[in-house]
Amino acid sequence: MAQLEGHPPAADEQLPLARIRELLADIKGAVPDDVAWELGIHIETLSEALKESAAHQRGVEEENRQLQERLNSERREYVELRASMDQLLNLHELSEAISSSFDTADILNSLMDLSERFVDCASCGVFAIDEERGVLQPLSLRGAPGLHERLAAQWEDGIIDWVLREKRPVVIEDMATVEQSAVAEHSTVVAPLIVRGEQIGVCALYCPRAKDEFTAGELDLLGVLASQAAIAIENGRLYTDLEAAHTQLQDSQHQVLLSAKFAAIGELAGGVAHEVNNPLQIILSRVQLMTLQNRDAPKVVKGLQLIEHNVKRISRIIRALLGFAGHSAQESEWEPYEIGQALRQALALVEHQFDKERIATSLECEADLPRLVGNVGELEQVFINLMINAQNAMKEGGALRIEARLEDGQIALRFADTGPGIAPEHLDRIFEPFYTTRGDKGGTGLGLAVSYRIIERHQGMLTVESVPGEGATFIIRLPLPEAEGT
């Protein structure tokens, strides 16, 4: 029987056709020729149907294969898209972290947290360029030790300088691990920190991976992280500088205001001094005359001497006000004195007032305190002012403890009362001229300001410590004379 025209049947198609032909040959002699011919026609038709079915099956299989490949490709694209979305979310997280804080430590921690999340590393760190010393200064380190030493060696070899010129993250092989076949290869990823063309440092990660295992996407991502962190670090530095400049400006304005107030006090003190000095001199001359006239009456002389002493003290206070105004005390007024004696004399003048107000006083002077040099009249004025302030703070009675000790090469005086203390909002201003919390009770706001200037002129320092409800302690520190302080 003749084969139909077309492509020869495939091997899997030939098997059933060959079997059919064998059966037809067996029965050919047993059937009439017309029946055999009709059977041949049906076999050829069946053969064509089988070939068409096989071709259709191959087409379906090819279509299935193409669909499977497309599905796998779309699955890979989906995985890559998810990875890209995760990276974008992480970048957004970093942006929020560094934009919500101007603290350099927070920015560096965020940078290293996200770097470790993207790239598995044994250690990481951020280093600043110290141009004066010509070294890399570690700002923050995390993980296994040794990263600083590796970066220092690469700095010396000029590798870090090359990375900074490249302006992109670079992977540097650890040759010590490459040359040891039994040890897993390690690499250091170095990303430059550059802001507006200025090289400020590098971010480095030491990773247990070979150089060729890093992908371009990972390096690009680390580059973006480093760039954002560099901008945040620079913004933090600028913010710190701005705060410092603002504080300095406030201090300057405060000093200008104080200078203006001191100038006003100077003018006031000068006028008052001239008006008060004349009556004082008249009183002093009359007291001295009465002392001569009553030499035979010791009690009267003693009382007149007390008056004379206090008139002279008032005169010294007037001169101190003039000195506060800018007219320094004359050198002849500076002389050696004993701090304990000056404290006892000042306390004696106000002690009767303390007894009247039911305020207990105690004076403790360390033995063998060195003699100081200064204007003892001005210092007594300071001591009396601090005692009167303590008295005013303890209207319901209390205690005032005065101590004098040698501390750190200085004489430290403490006036500690048991009054209500000073509110925090007043602590920074109590030494300002005319600032007072007792304006309704006759306070002028000059006592502490004058005292502060007197102690300052003696090269000392007047400070205060107070906790509301636990009293206040005024501390005076006076330096030792050079001969005794050395």
The string of pLDDT tens digits covering residues 402-415 is 999 999 889 999 99
pTM above 0.85, yes or no: no
What number is the average pLDDT over the span 71-80? 80
124 and 176 together in one domain: yes
Query: What local confidence, expressed as pLDDT, does residue 372 receive?
Result: 92
Q: Are strands 187-195 and 198-207 parallel, antiparallel or unpaired?
A: antiparallel
Residue 347 has pLDDT above 90, yes or no: no
- pLDDT band of residue 317 (cuts 50, 70, 90) is low
Same domain as 479, residue 340? yes
Using the 3D structure, point to which of 210, 241, 272 is the last residue of a domain: 241
Which residues, including other chains, have CB under 8 Å from residue 97's CB and lie 6 or more apart? 106, 107, 110
Residue 39 belongs to some domain of the structure: yes
Q: What is the pLDDT of residue 332?
A: 46
Most confident segment among 55-59, 248-252, 418-422: 418-422
In a domain, 430, yes or no: yes
Helices (H), 100-170: 104-118, 147-156, 159-166
From 100, 127, 154, give the residue that closes a domain: 100
Residue 308 · residue 373 · CB < 8 Å = no
pLDDT at 100 exceeding the cut of 70: no
How many Å apart are CA 242 and CA 427, to the nearest integer?
26
User: With 80 as the cut, is the pLDDT of residue 168 above it?
Assistant: yes
Higher-pLDDT residue of 249 and 313 is 249
Q: Tens of pLDDT along 297-313?
A: 888 888 888 888 888 87
Are residue 371 and residue 381 in the same domain, yes or no?
Answer: yes
pLDDT tens for each residue of 325-337:
544 444 446 889 9
Question: Residue 392 pLDDT > 60, yes or no?
Answer: yes
pLDDT-derived band at 8, boundaries 50, 70, 90: low
CA distance 66 to 45: 32
Give domain status of residue 380, yes or no. yes
| pLDDT at residue 305, as a whole number | 86
- Whether residue 25 is found in the same domain as residue 15: yes
Residue 59 falls inside a structural domain: yes
Residue 136 covered by a domain: yes
Are 54 and 123 members of one domain? no
The answer on 161 and 81 residing in a single domain is no
Domain count for the chain: 3
Residues 474 and 365 in one domain: yes
Residue 286, in any domain of the structure? no
- Measured CA to CA, the distance from residue 402 to residue 381 in angstroms comes to 15
Mean pLDDT of the chain: 78
The predicted structure's pLDDT at residue 3: 42
Integer CA distances (angstroms), 197 to 95, 167, 193, 201, 222, in order = 21, 10, 10, 12, 18
* Average pLDDT of span 382-398: 88
pLDDT band at 278 (very low <50, low <70, confident <90, very high): confident
Residue 141 shares a structural domain with residue 118: yes
- What CATH number is attached to the domain comprising 227? 3.30.450.40
Q: Of 100, 120, 153, which residue sits at a domain end? A: 100
94 shares a domain with 107:
no
Q: Do residues 344 and 403 both lie within one domain?
A: yes
Percent of the chain with pLDDT over 90: 10
Query: What is the distance between the alpha carbons of residues 308 and 314, in angstroms, rounded to a whole number?
Result: 10
The lowest-confidence range among 136-150, 179-193, 328-342, 452-466 is 328-342
The verdict on residue 253 lying in a domain is: no
Going by pLDDT thresholds of 50, 70 and 90, the confidence category of residue 2 is very low
Higher pLDDT among residues 21 and 312, named by residue: 312
Q: Are residues 341 and 386 in the same domain?
A: yes
Q: Mind listing the pLDDT tens digit for each residue in 187-234?
A: 899 989 888 888 888 889 899 888 888 888 778 878 877 887 788 778
Q: Which pLDDT does position 7 carry in this prediction?
A: 47
Same domain flag for 107 and 74: no
* Statement: residue 344 has pLDDT above 80: yes
| Residues above pLDDT 70, as percent of the chain | 74
- The answer to whether residue 401 scores a pLDDT higher than 90 is yes
Three-state DSSP string of 329-355: CCHHHCEEECHHHHHHHHHHHHHHHHH
The answer to whether residue 299 is domain-embedded is no
The domain containing residue 194 runs over which residues? Answer: 102-241
